[in-house]
Structure 1
Amino acid sequence: MEQAGVKQTILLVDDEQDFARGLQRLIGRKFPALEVVLAHTGKDALEVLKSTHVDIMLTDMLMPGMTGMDLLPLALEQRPDLSMVMLTAHGTIETAVQAVKHGAYDFLTKPVEPAELFRVVEKSQERATLMNENRQLKEQVRSFGASGELIGESPAMQQLKLSIQAVAHSDYTVLVRGESGTGKEMVARMIHQLSTRADKNFLSVNCPAIPEQLLESELFGHVKGAFTGADKDHKGLFATTDGGTLHLDEIGDISFQVQTKLLRVLQEGEVRPVGANYNEQVNVRVVASTNQELEKRIQDKAFREDLYYRLNVLTVTIPPLRERVTDIPLLTHHFLRQSCKEMGLPEKSIAPDVLTFLSTKQWQGNVRELQNYVRRLTVFCSGETVDMSVVRLVDSGTLTTATTVESDSSGITQYKEAKNKVIDDFTQAYVSELLKSTKGNISEAARMSGLSRVALQKILGRLNMDAASFR
């Protein structure tokens, strides 16, 4: 398995040249798209790493001069995401296990069985693909995050960005529509930044957050003596934003009285402060946003139809997160980096299976809910990598480790037992989220996960899970 359009490279390191060439022929025939490079000493291998992008390294443990164990930390220092596989004789398997603990991906025993070789190379390719995708995601996060742009490269987000660019170049009123947590204020801010008003003020006001009796004064201002406590003239947000852009968030919740005065601003370009007997000219672009169906509010006589048409000159609709699932890994990397910065922590990485898990979850609160979830993962992650144990910790709400496996008398967990436990825990969490999202529909769950229906049913049977309990 390799990334589309990216040729992967495997480096074979063995001082037995005939053996190395034999492996090269075997791998080349089985994986024709994989470039196979040879080195016969650890020193030569390090030189290859300096000049060539290597995804996988298969190295002998016992070589004259620099051994495989000596090569391991030096190679990983040059390429931290390198998938290293150790070749070992039966008598040195314990050493190979130690190598895995120190960063090697896997090991093979000599004499090498072709089927086992092919299995390990294929798994290493899969890991290399995931590591490359992770690196690219981080690079994209840095480029997007630095410029303050919307994060996402899905078709839905590409269309949103095109819409923003189109409406930004005009000076008409814009209505931004989207569910709660989709980023309506960010879209409004981007429209301003891309417009001819970018060097002027941008103000955003959450209309429902201001008491109804004060909202009119906040928007349009008031004169001294207009009401009890008005001991001096107050400049409203429209006057303060003159020449710039005013974002009115949750516009569907404002009162009829405020709606009437807002209509006058949009029609005439002037405001009348509360208690004043004069009007003031203002030049403000209004970007309104809502998560409500304003058409229904009009039918319910709760929103003025003429104001709706004044606001809805141009419309930008933000897709919910469920319609841009492929953006979740990119968003997760961005929020993780952001959270580490907020907490003053070194940057953390995130395991590929966590990204897969997050991509299957239902995010009713959209991007905002995902951001808060990643913040919790950051808080509870004591190490350098957010893995599934941290996810279980956050989801359980406890400080117990969910992956405890009985150890033998030496205090070391049996490798296969620990590995199977982690895989089962991940599979159970993944399938649970999958069935929640499909409401227990096996066929739909199989389609979404890329598994066959039979394979999914076998997994459910092995884990004693019942799809009916999710309906």
Structure 2
Amino acid sequence: MSQPETVQVLVVDDQTDFASGLKRLIEGEFDHVRVLLAESGKRALELLESAPVSLMITDLQMPGMGGLALLREALARNPALSAVMLTAHGSIETAVDTLKLGAYDFLTKPIEPEVLFRVVDKGLERSMLLDENRRLRDLLERRKDKLIGESPAMQRLKQSIQAVAQTDYNVLILGESGTGKELVASMVRELSPRADHPFVTLNCTAIPENLLESELFGHVKGAFSGAEQKREGLFAKAHTGTILLDEIGDIPLETQAKLLRVLQEGEIRPVGSDTSRKVDVRIIASTNQDLVARIADRTFREDLYHRLNVLTLHLPPLRERKGDIPLLARYFLLKACTELGLQDKYVSPAALADLSSQPWPGNVRELQNAMRKLAVFDAVHHSDSALHCESRAVLSQDGDLPPFKDAKAQVLDAFTLDYVREALSRSSGNVSQTARLSGLSRVAVQNMLHKYGLSPEDFK
């Protein structure tokens, strides 16, 4: 996919006419590329220090500092730099030497323009992927922004989390399974005035019905068979802090009534006790169920619903923020590689397009598991520029290789769909701005939206 931001390529050659010719060719082919020229290794290092460079193309044989010495020094300063070695005296041995030293590719003079364009395109893609992985690794290490995503839907959610966190009202988090409800609850607590106080979580579906009341409110010794000693409940442990009741829609009606008392009176009564105890707890509840429908069929109390639903956070399913899938996929793959102690991998654009076209009913959790599988089962398929994931776009349904024309059309469709989604995401669904970003006419963009069934409203 072409990059909208201007990137810089450095051409290093003591033959200034030849270097100028490369500059004209590259800038004529790539309108987002600016080419810098250096006539020596020393001058190249000065430019590398003063300007961000994504790709360096350098001659091997130069007076003073040669190409190999420049390669070593340049990569020591910027490991993400893609370097291509040029020589009129190419040989297999020389190519292997330069690649061992970290060169991305190797070309011999005279250069065919199409070969040059392909190497430049792949080199810039590699640098972009390395830069992206550095940013994601920094995010992985800092974990300041736990909610990964830059789509309009996620930007709105992050703003809502910030606003909700500053209050002390109860919060109801609604979202499908795998959308990150527990993560959002943790963010609300961490951004709230109660951040330094206890945070207690309970998965309501994980506790048997006959033990749930004791788990929440505690019990006194002898309250029931097996209660050999007094036990403090989760509400007491969360005093002055926050409690997360995950999957609140699954608690039985009897426990709902006792939970309502806590919300109304701010006090708990342990099982088997005649006395109550005041507690100061902020409640965050989450569910993937339709509580309004549960109220209608009398399996969830309406008064409890209104007590919990003071503030609401709706988590969008992954299918409604497909522009985030490439970022999430790269992030989860890097995270899996780190956990497994593997070398960093990169997802190819074709694979990203394929991932972005999937429905992901299991949402973010399903995507994360898919990238974990990819890290494990493709551990031996690492390449320097991209991880070549198997894409359904280039295989027929029975796994046979389709005719070239059909395969090309399918890959082009996948690429176009990914590109248009990304452009719509960046423009927040503004068709005119999408046209300007992509260099296409507004009519062409509208035709693509119609062809692929995309709605600008989904990106606002």
TM (normalized to structure 1)?
0.75
- Aligned partners of 1:53 and 1:373: how far apart in 2? 35
- Aligned partners of 1:95 and 1:216: how far apart in 2? 74
For CA contacts below 8 A with separation 6 or more, give which structure has more relative contact order: 2
User: What does residue 16 of structure 1 align with?
Assistant: 15
| Structure 1 residues 195-206: aligned runs within 5 Å | 195-206=192-203
Q: Does residue 368 of structure 1 match 2:374? A: no
| Equivalent of residue 417 in structure 2, options 444, 448, 451 | 448
- Aligned partners of 1:168 and 1:81: how far apart in 2? 39
Q: Deviations over 1:150-177 (max 9, x none)?
A: 2222211111111112222222211111
User: What does residue 92 of structure 1 align with?
Assistant: 90
What residue identity is the alignment partner of 1:236?
G
| Structure 1 residues 430-445: aligned runs within 5 Å | none
| Equivalent of residue 215 in structure 1, options 205, 212, 215 | 212
User: What does residue 255 of structure 1 align with?
Assistant: 252
User: What does residue 428 of structure 1 align with?
Assistant: 394
Q: Secondary structure at the match of 1:54?
A: coil
User: What does residue 226 of structure 2 align with?
Assistant: 229
Give the deviation of 1:3 after TM superposition: 3.9
What residue identity is the alignment partner of 2:84?
V
Give the conservation status (yes or no) of the 8 Å contact 1:388–1:426.
no
Which segment drifts farther, 92-101 or 7-16? 92-101
What residue identity is the alignment partner of 2:86?
L
Note closer, same or farther for the CA distance 1:340–1:107 as it changes in structure 2 (3 Å cut): closer
User: What does residue 56 of structure 2 align with?
Assistant: 57
User: What does residue 397 of structure 1 align with?
Assistant: none
Give the deviation of 1:9 after TM superposition: 1.6
Q: Secondary structure at the match of 1:208?
A: coil
| Structure 1 residues 381-400: aligned runs within 5 Å | 381=379, 391=389
Give the deviation of 1:60 after TM superposition: 2.4
- Aligned partners of 1:211 and 1:97: how far apart in 2? 66
- Aligned partners of 2:414 and 2:262: how far apart in 1? 52
Q: What are the ranges of 5 or more consecutive residues in structure 1 without an aligned counterpart?
A: 393-424, 434-440, 457-471
Q: Deviations over 1:248-280 (max 9, x none)?
A: 111111111101111111112122221222222
What residue identity is the alignment partner of 2:417?
M
Give the conservation status (yes or no) of the 8 Å contact 1:221–1:237.
yes
User: What does residue 178 of structure 1 align with?
Assistant: 175
Give the conservation status (yes or no) of the 8 Å contact 2:217–2:232.
yes
Note closer, same or farther for the CA distance 1:174–1:273 as it changes in structure 2 (3 Å cut): same
User: What does residue 242 of structure 1 align with?
Assistant: 239
Note closer, same or farther for the CA distance 1:248–1:429 as it changes in structure 2 (3 Å cut): farther
Give the conservation status (yes or no) of the 8 Å contact 2:345–2:386.
no
| Equivalent of residue 319 in structure 1, options 295, 306, 316 | 316
Give the conservation status (yes or no) of the 8 Å contact 1:351–1:387.
no
TM (normalized to structure 2)?
0.76
Identity of aligned residues (%): 52
Q: Deviations over 1:118-160 (max 9, x none)?
A: 55445544444444444444444444x1x36322222111111
Q: Secondary structure at the match of 1:85?
A: strand
Q: Secondary structure at the match of 1:58?
A: strand
Give the conservation status (yes or no) of the 8 Å contact 1:141–1:330.
no
- Aligned partners of 1:246 and 1:142: how far apart in 2? 27
Q: Secondary structure at the match of 2:83?
A: strand
Q: Does residue 350 of structure 1 match 2:321? A: no
Q: What are the ranges of 5 or more consecutive residues in structure 2 without an aligned counterpart?
A: 400-409, 421-443, 449-460
- Aligned partners of 1:27 and 1:330: how far apart in 2? 29
- Aligned partners of 1:306 and 1:284: how far apart in 2? 19
Q: Deviations over 1:408-429 (max 9, x none)?
A: xxxxxxxxxxxxxxxxx68526
What residue identity is the alignment partner of 1:448?
L
Which segment drifts farther, 40-49 or 175-184? 40-49
Which segment drifts farther, 30-39 or 274-283? 30-39
Alignment length (residue pairs):
409
